[in-house]
Amino acid sequence: MTLTEIKGITVFFPAFNDERSIADLVLKAKDVCSEFTDDVELIVVNDGSVDNTAGELLELQEVVPELQVITHKVNRGYGAAVSAGIGAASKEFVFYTDGDGQYDVGDLRLLINALNEDVDIVNGFKLNRADALHRRVLGDIYSRFARTLFHLPIRDVDCDFRLMRRRVVQRLELRSSSGAICVELVHQLNKAGARFAEVGIPHYPRVAGRSQFFSPVRIYRTFLQLGSLRRRAFAVHGSLHTEK
């Protein structure tokens, strides 16, 4: 894709207790996107952080006045933060990644370079996942389980490093408030006929904070929502089959 084909891009970050990493991510995102377009929208969804994330964002807006901050007064969950970011996006392309700094925003260049007229979504997949062994094992099991259960077209649904055409994502009705949002998002995009490409993305140790996913309560809630999502998908498929 040539540089002139990126008319505008929204970058958003779901953030929860990311005071040590969020400012650097926003500043780097602004610099990277300016290489491709003058029309850049920057959004952070502060999902009920209890550290100084809000204060960091307030100071950052003095340097980056175009930064929009969506504030959830209480933690609504990762899925709710992602849905809020997608809902607020207004540009031709939408990119998001987590606010904890485990991905280098500079690698957005890799996603943009993988775009062409036949691609709607460029999804990263983690290279050398920089997490503890138990998280790597659980993450791999989760990705394989989700990919098999929902027939997903990508290898690493848990890699939150995505570039999407807004026109294909703005019509979706996302319900998940947990980490199941990633499965729901990719599943709905696939059902809608979106065309995917994949790019390997380096993965780095967490700068600060703790994962929202790897706790018993959140894992339980995620699998409950996956079950609900599966039942809805099966019900729709079954009703269509009956109508035929």
Question: How does DSSP assign 127-175, residue by residue?
Answer: ES--S-HHHHHHHHHHHHHHHHHHT-SSS-TT--EEEEEHHHHTT----
pLDDT tens readout for residues 96-151: 999 999 999 999 999 999 999 999 999 999 997 766 666 666 767 777 777 888 88
pLDDT tens readout for residues 7-32: 999 999 999 999 999 999 999 999 99
Q: Does residue 125 sit in helix, strand or coil?
A: strand
pLDDT tens readout for residues 210-231: 555 555 556 666 666 666 776 7
Domain that holds residue 213: 3-243
Q: Are 70 and 46 in contact (CB under 8 A)?
A: yes
Give whichever of 2-11, 69-78, 170-179, 203-212 has the largest mean pLDDT. 69-78
Q: Which value, in Å, is the radius of gyration of the alpha carbons in the chain?
A: 17
Taking the model in full, what pTM does it have?
0.85
pLDDT band at 92 (very low <50, low <70, confident <90, very high): very high
* pLDDT for position 206: 72
Round to the nearest angstrom and report the end-to-end CA distance of the chain. 41
Gap between the Cα atoms of 242 and 230, Å rounded: 18
How many domains is the chain partitioned into structurally?
1
The region, left, alpha or beta by phi > 0 then psi within -120 to 50, assigned to residue 193 is left
CATH code where residue 124 lies: 3.90.550.10
